[in-house]
Chain A
């Protein structure tokens, strides 16, 4: 192999429908490759994507892997296992008197007039929940000592029931872990074959439901994920991969090496969507005028619409990450990128409700039978059908021409099910469907920005996902967002994020104190422990790159119940009253920023402390060059409907557009993996790796 041959970085994101791969060399991103996801054996979908990438470079997959230094892998295996209940037979050890925290959760319910919603099952059934006779108090005092014999009796029950995994979460273990540790020792002694997660090691925060939920989810997927990840690594190496350890993406938007990740697989949950804002930041960075804007990152596929946010260049996190829906599902309890998802997309079905109103979704035609225009027996009108009727989608160029649509079926379904009942023409009905669907997405984005204190009017929207280009400009206009950045490789936003993520891990301690009577020793001791955890982490992973530590305090005004994240710098110490004052001032500032009100100087309570250890990894430049050469091809033209009017819209092939070219709506830009609809008043400027759309006005 010649010494100057390229060295590759591969990132893979396995989605529900497609497996996306982004290939980069040391300088720049080279391309996006998509292959159908193969649920029964993820590796074969990945191999197909790698074959496409290798072909584009004129080499074999073996050469591609042989020349790869780094392989970043984002998987849905853990998320799917949890949502489908395909997890290990898991048990839960809880403090005596508190067996039902996974069942009661934190209460809450939607739909105040609906008492027929089925009550959601706990993550671990009550039959496999066992109480441990012990009690520790809030200050760490042992009130009732642990009794080895009683623990052994309960461990015997695990053997009786043939469980494979046990999550241990005892009250106040973040303050005094002695009882959990002893239970861990007894488990190791009696049942070394059973997987164990101790809550204070995984997620030492105060709030027993969140800690227990994290613990039980983690342990339930431990062996599954260890097998999956080590098999993935082995198969890649069998094909010639000799690079650094396999990097697995996590819910905080970073990556962890294989050895680290198998010890805390909970972190892999929902990791794909968490990479979208990582890519968003990389794109925003390429648009110098937008570098400091807050970002609204959307990722729209056929069935779901995901949103994430950044503020001041940092991705926004949440402690309240639910799997399977708020209050209905299970909380992961770890700080995670705040990505929220709504079931809305091209497959959403339009219908008329009992009061005579048009509703779009939440029911979806999915991929099979799919929209009416797929002609696979789905007679229900969908958003995709509406886009076909409006002329926004070219039926001959759907998915880059890989699938031929039947526009007559789209029109018939919309006329029959929407047009006639509402007394509208097919085009007017189609536009109504797009409007209602866009409104749901707008409302969803709006509520998320409100809850995170972001002002859309001062934000840049990054629109990823194969389906976002169809209606994103109109949504942006309704949100008063002035510019939308649409990557040319929009359809692989998460895989792109894999190229830009850092090696990262988070460590927490729960230590309650208040500014009125601040416990400097207790807090600084917790921070020192976190700092030591981070040093250990840096040592263990031994990766090249700048090492960065960040410390965060989760705090609130006294008597509030919800905490805010407050940065306390890289030092990790509250240095006397001046340090406390700085913490309080920063809390006041964050509170004002988020809620528009604050009470400067008011007593602040500190709940949890957290450290983020990051090793900054090398990153390629965004895709550039190739597409900008040559003259712009002459655009085609077709009639498309906007605001109820048929207009002649120019149709451009994205690959033929030169850097800096300006395109005014009404127009349609067709990229191989996405279609961008420019409504009248909108203007797109072509950039090397993306389009920057000025949203304009009606």
Chain B
């Protein structure tokens, strides 16, 4: 090892060892992920709606290399709750925590916490969070937008309860879950997988401490946090200075939110000092609906909104700012009590705290940077969680048992950004594109309904120099001879669809139709859908695209041509919106060619495109 002491001001630990140790802790977190993914039971969890992380002895997030941002930001709050409620926490304990008033994201995300001790000292806490197939809600869905409070929501809330002591189960808690969760066998299988993952992390961390020694590990924790902070600082210093006010609005839905929810934020970028402040306090009080954010998901919107701006790089080799409490120190997120994007007061419902308002807020923040200056930030992403990611329930006659699962058989479009077109399978802003996509045959071999279609929705993208990704068309339902199924979903963006920035266009919003057994399609206007799909009927879900970035008439002509050839956009849209005239037979896309003079003329005289504003 090189000598101690160097020009970077570290004296406890040399930078090489720092990197080696950080690599190992991230490896441990990934091993936890691997354990979980391979042994999990529910399709929801297997679709990767889960995260693993490690927090330090001060209850600060330390490592979360592949975690979903809205899951892992709150790890520190969860661990703090463990220390506050159980000051006697000890080796061999495990805690079940899903309480949104005590730091958890939302009740459907069950979290297992295992405090890790070495030489009698608490040194880290492993944290495994997974969205459950069911969490005991009043309706067969893990999302209850219309719940006026937590009682109507119905979820079992576990305010960081001890579920293992001396490495033995506390059976009472497990039996409660088995009595109040619709798919007890799946829940228990997933619980075992989560526990196994947290315990694997515990063992590995103890090996890690044995190898490096307790004092070195403590020094490493401090230095790694400092390193992360320095990286965040250096990237913030490259942003332009400015104050941005941004606003958006959640679509109204009766009876809970007849006026929707107006949302806003004030962002102050101070590159000289190396800080960004996101003020979310000037927002409405908590609402009588299941859409209130929890403290962790509200703050995460500010943190992740800024980290996405800092880390969105086309160059795959760029150094990324780590997602831990060191980088968080450079991002001040201001929230207040009793605010829909702040700290909820029991008993308001936070059933949907990881989407809906959270997606609006996250998208509002990163697109605010897109409005600050050309060259940074992104446009607005897809809004809503339509039937393509609905919670589907019914009875499986073949297996003679009820079923409930969240499908991921479609997707929705990511925003165009300063450097790239939108990510096609973003699905949902807070999911960050990490989710898996269900293969049709995997669904159909297990459940009594068919996926009739899942394909790109042409012309739904926000046009731009870098365009948003198009949405998706997803159609499913039971066969005429099978039983009805029920789907729960929540749309958003029918009233205010995703907008573009820097002259980029808005995207198409979400739409849902019911195709009756006779083939007729009926429009379903509900923002919040609780829809039965009868035998022979099909639900038709059109998802939103992402907003565009920059004037579409400056998009490279060959990129417009190739979008038309590949059917992402029509020839009409190429002409009307992108100012590119194409000749040839649109039904034979190989014949399409750019009409250069006509294109030049169109682009010279073009009026600016609608941003959707």
Specify which chain B residues have a CB less than 8 angstroms from the CB of A106 in the assembled complex. Answer: 436-437, 439
With contacts A108-B436, A423-B5, A428-B3 taken as known, whether A113 is within 8 angstroms of B312 at the C-beta atoms is yes
Specify which chain A residues have a CB less than 8 angstroms from the CB of B68 in the assembled complex. Answer: 112
Distance in Å from the Cβ of A427 to the closest Cβ of chain B?
A: 9
Distance in Å from the Cβ of A522 to the closest Cβ of chain B?
A: 13
B2 at the interface (CB under 8 A from A): yes
A451 at the interface (CB under 8 A from B): yes
Name which of A247-255, A463-471, A557-565 contacts chain B: A557-565
B454 touches A422 (CB 8 A): no
The residue from B67, B310, B442, B456 contacting A561, defined by CB atoms under 8 A apart: B442
B590 touches A116 (CB 8 A): no
B189 at the interface (CB under 8 A from A): yes
Specify which chain A residues have a CB less than 8 angstroms from the CB of B47 in the assembled complex. Answer: 107
Interface residues of B in 42-92 (CB under 8 A from A): 42-43, 46-48, 66-69
A80 at the interface (CB under 8 A from B): no
The residue from A96, A115, A422, A429 contacting B414, defined by CB atoms under 8 A apart: A115
Residue of B whose beta carbon sits closest to that of A591: B39
With contacts A108-B434, A138-B441, A561-B46 taken as known, whether A113 is within 8 angstroms of B590 at the C-beta atoms is no
Interface string of B1-21 (1 = CB under 8 A from A): 111011110000001101110
Name which of B247-255, B417-425, B486-494 contacts chain A: B417-425
Q: Measured between alpha carbons, how far is A447 from B308 in the docked complex, in Å?
A: 27
B231 touches A363 (CB 8 A): no
Q: Measured between alpha carbons, how far is A98 from B451 in the docked complex, in Å?
A: 9
Interface centre among A109, A436, A440, A595 (most CB of B within 10 A): A109
With contacts A355-B228, A359-B319, A424-B2 taken as known, whether A208 is within 8 angstroms of B439 at the C-beta atoms is yes
Distance in Å from the Cβ of A39 to the closest Cβ of chain B?
A: 25
B425 touches A107 (CB 8 A): yes
B2 touches A431 (CB 8 A): yes
A354 touches B425 (CB 8 A): no
Interface centre among B196, B437, B568 (most CB of A within 10 A): B437
A595 touches B434 (CB 8 A): no
With contacts A97-B453, A104-B424, A138-B445 taken as known, whether A109 is within 8 angstroms of B432 at the C-beta atoms is yes
A113 touches B304 (CB 8 A): yes
The residue from A137, A422, A443, A447 contacting B450, defined by CB atoms under 8 A apart: A137
A111 touches B320 (CB 8 A): yes
A107 touches B312 (CB 8 A): no
A113 touches B424 (CB 8 A): no
Residue of B whose beta carbon sits closest to that of A157: B588
Residue of A whose beta carbon sits closest to that of B433: A109
A435 touches B1 (CB 8 A): yes
B593 at the interface (CB under 8 A from A): no
Interface size class, chain A: 35 or more
Interface string of A341-370 (1 = CB under 8 A from B): 000000000000111111100110000000
With contacts A107-B425, A356-B230 taken as known, whether A440 is within 8 angstroms of B317 at the C-beta atoms is no
Distance in Å from the Cβ of A112 to the closest Cβ of chain B?
A: 4
Specify which chain A residues have a CB less than 8 angstroms from the CB of B228 in the assembled complex. Answer: 355
Interface string of A629-645 (1 = CB under 8 A from B): 00000000000000110
Specify which chain A residues have a CB less than 8 angstroms from the CB of B2 in the assembled complex. Answer: 422, 424, 428-429, 431-432, 644
A436 touches B16 (CB 8 A): yes
Residue of A whose beta carbon sits closest to that of B34: A451
A644 touches B454 (CB 8 A): no
Name which of A11-19, A117-125, A266-274, A540-548 contacts chain B: A117-125
B37 at the interface (CB under 8 A from A): yes
B296 at the interface (CB under 8 A from A): no
A461 at the interface (CB under 8 A from B): no
B433 touches A118 (CB 8 A): no
Specify which chain B residues have a CB less than 8 angstroms from the CB of A559 in the assembled complex. Answer: 41-43, 185-186, 189
Residue of A whose beta carbon sits closest to that of B403: A559
Specify which chain A residues have a CB less than 8 angstroms from the CB of B67 in the assembled complex. Answer: 112
Residue of B whose beta carbon sits closest to that of A118: B420
A597 at the interface (CB under 8 A from B): yes
B419 touches A100 (CB 8 A): no
Specify which chain B residues have a CB less than 8 angstroms from the CB of A436 in the assembled complex. Answer: 16, 19-20
Specify which chain B residues have a CB less than 8 angstroms from the CB of A435 in the assembled complex. Answer: 1, 16, 20
Interface residues of A in 80-134 (CB under 8 A from B): 96-101, 103-119, 125-127
Q: Measured between alpha carbons, how far is A126 from B455 in the docked complex, in Å?
A: 11
With contacts A115-B423, A171-B441, A595-B35 taken as known, whether A439 is within 8 angstroms of B23 at the C-beta atoms is yes
A104 touches B425 (CB 8 A): yes
B314 at the interface (CB under 8 A from A): yes
B444 at the interface (CB under 8 A from A): yes
Q: Measured between alpha carbons, how far is A172 from B442 in the docked complex, in Å?
A: 11
With contacts A112-B323, A160-B590 taken as known, whether A127 is within 8 angstroms of B566 at the C-beta atoms is yes
A113 touches B308 (CB 8 A): yes
Interface residues of A in 119-178 (CB under 8 A from B): 119, 125-127, 137-138, 143, 157, 160-161, 171-172
A447 touches B456 (CB 8 A): no
B38 touches A562 (CB 8 A): yes
With contacts A137-B450, A356-B230, A435-B20 taken as known, whether A119 is within 8 angstroms of B441 at the C-beta atoms is no
B189 touches A358 (CB 8 A): no
The residue from B37, B424, B588 contacting A103, defined by CB atoms under 8 A apart: B424
With contacts A126-B456, A435-B16, A596-B196 taken as known, whether A112 is within 8 angstroms of B66 at the C-beta atoms is yes
A354 touches B235 (CB 8 A): yes
Q: Measured between alpha carbons, how far is A429 from B366 in the docked complex, in Å?
A: 40
Q: Measured between alpha carbons, how far is A597 from B189 in the docked complex, in Å?
A: 11
B275 at the interface (CB under 8 A from A): no
Residue of A whose beta carbon sits closest to that of B426: A115
Specify which chain B residues have a CB less than 8 angstroms from the CB of A357 in the assembled complex. Answer: 15, 18-19, 227
Distance in Å from the Cβ of B381 to the closest Cβ of chain A?
A: 8
B41 touches A127 (CB 8 A): no
A107 touches B437 (CB 8 A): yes
Residue of A whose beta carbon sits closest to that of B411: A104
With contacts A117-B314, A127-B567, A559-B42 taken as known, whether A356 is within 8 angstroms of B16 at the C-beta atoms is no
B565 at the interface (CB under 8 A from A): yes
Specify which chain B residues have a CB less than 8 angstroms from the CB of A103 in the assembled complex. Answer: 424, 456
Name which of B24-32, B109-117, B142-150, B157-165 contacts chain A: B24-32
Distance in Å from the Cβ of B487 to the closest Cβ of chain A?
A: 18
The residue from B23, B41, B434, B435 contacting A440, defined by CB atoms under 8 A apart: B23
B452 touches A97 (CB 8 A): yes
Residue of B whose beta carbon sits closest to that of A104: B437
Interface string of A501-515 (1 = CB under 8 A from B): 000000000001000
Distance in Å from the Cβ of B401 to the closest Cβ of chain A?
A: 10
With contacts A432-B2, A447-B27 taken as known, whether A112 is within 8 angstroms of B432 at the C-beta atoms is yes
Specify which chain B residues have a CB less than 8 angstroms from the CB of A99 in the assembled complex. Answer: 455
With contacts A115-B423, A356-B8 taken as known, whether A97 is within 8 angstroms of B455 at the C-beta atoms is yes
Name A residues whose Cβ lies closer than 8 Å to a Cβ of B: 96-101, 103-119, 125-127, 137-138, 143, 157, 160-161, 171-172, 206-210, 353-359, 362-363, 421-424, 428-429, 431-432, 435-436, 439-440, 443, 446-447, 450-451, 512, 516, 557, 559-562, 594-597, 599, 643-644
Show 30 residue pairs from A and B whose CB-CB distance is below 8 angstroms, ordered by the A residue: A98-B451, A98-B453, A104-B411, A106-B436, A107-B408, A107-B425, A109-B432, A112-B66, A113-B307, A113-B308, A113-B310, A113-B320, A113-B432, A117-B316, A117-B423, A118-B314, A119-B424, A127-B565, A127-B589, A157-B588, A172-B441, A207-B439, A210-B439, A354-B230, A354-B235, A439-B23, A443-B27, A446-B27, A450-B31, A597-B192
Name B residues whose Cβ lies closer than 8 Å to a Cβ of A: 1-3, 5-8, 15-16, 18-20, 23-24, 27, 30-31, 34-35, 37-43, 46-48, 66-69, 185-186, 189, 192, 196, 200, 227-228, 230-231, 234-235, 304, 307-308, 310-314, 316-317, 319-321, 323, 366, 378, 399, 408, 411, 414-415, 417-427, 432-437, 439-442, 444-445, 450-456, 469, 475, 479, 565-568, 588-590
New A-B contacts (17) at CB < 8 Å, excluding given A106-B436, A119-B469, A137-B450: A98-B440, A100-B456, A107-B408, A107-B425, A108-B436, A116-B418, A137-B444, A160-B588, A206-B442, A358-B19, A428-B2, A428-B3, A432-B16, A446-B27, A450-B31, A562-B38, A595-B38
